[in-house]
Amino acid sequence: MATATKAKKKQVKKSQTDKQNSLAEEQSSQPMKLTADNYYSHETSWQYMSVSLFKDFEKCEARALAKLKEDWKPASSSVPLLVGNYVHSYFESAKSHQDFIEENKKELITKPTKNDPNGHLRAEFKSANSMIQTLQADDMFNYFYAPGDKEVIVTGEIDGYLWKGKIDSLVLDKGYFCDLKTVDDIHERHFNTDVAVPNFIYDREYDLQMAVYQELIKQTFGVFCKPYIFAVSKQTPPDHDAFKFEGMTDKYAMQDDIRKIKELQPHFWKVMTGEVAPISCGKCDYCRETKTLSSFTNASEIEV
């Protein structure tokens, strides 16, 4: 049975704030059981690392911590996220999709006017409907994605630290899982200098997500599963494609992702428990909002 002993030892140290004190208390007891209702709550994020939180910490520790402590929220539009969830919920079940539309009506439907008393579906979600139709019309997508269990919560430990994940579509008996991605353009070249292959999967670290999910599925169900990504683009008409991680570069990247997690996570947990101060990236939305000047930088030394 997986235990959090090592995680507790490493994570529970002297805390600096009330919130961080309560974190230490929470972690000294049993970790919360994850459910569909609490999976995305910040409360569970103080106990389980997730791919999105890990990526937040990689980008800017100060921003990730402020978000987690609910001291700060990004002001940027939530529309791309909603488009993704709109498409996901459709392939989860008819009820999930209906519930999602009901819960997000304000963002999905335009304000009523004289000529349009009921409002209408915003352009982004009309485009999401054509993304859905594109996938639905594809036999290979239906064959692989449709039969899986949807939104399956998995947990486990990586190097002694607790992790959580949610699988879009899991087909245990055939040994694979699928993740559905909505993307601007599948063939766009990205310029993140940290990645070897400049496509959207490596730019957004979906390889890391697949490596973590593969490990958590193995720990939760005892089955080694192949990861597949189905991507659908927001273009008109939408592009769509299916990806596997079976080339040498893909396999090496996933091994390297787990190595990177093992290397970085002890520090991220120290930041979360208040043991060490977070490092600010100095460039992100959070850093710009909270910036105060303290010295001059040589003009020739501006980071670009």
Q: Which residues are near Zn ion by CB under 5 A?
A: 60, 63, 281, 284, 287
Residue whose CB is less far from Zn ion, 66 or 152: 66
- Least distance (Å) from Zn ion to the CB of residue 277? 13
Query: In the structure encoding, which two tokens stand for residue 73, read together?
Result: 């929220």
Residue whose CB is less far from Zn ion, 63 or 240: 63
User: Length of the chain, please?
Assistant: 304
- Least distance (Å) from Zn ion to the CB of residue 66? 9
- Least distance (Å) from Zn ion to the CB of residue 194? 16
Residue whose CB is less far from Zn ion, 24 or 284: 284
- Least distance (Å) from Zn ion to the CB of residue 267? 16
Residue whose CB is less far from Zn ion, 24 or 281: 281
List helix spans (H) across the chain: 5-11, 18-28, 42-45, 51-59, 61-68, 79-92, 94-103, 105-108, 123-136, 139-145, 200-203, 206-221, 248-273, 285-289
Query: Residue 162: which H helix or E strand, with range?
Result: strand 161-171
- Least distance (Å) from Zn ion to the CB of residue 245? 30
CB burial readout 252-263, b (16+ within 10 A) else e: ebbeebbeebee
Tell me if 61 sits within 8 A of 278, measured CB to CB.
Answer: yes
Residue whose CB is less far from Zn ion, 57 or 90: 57
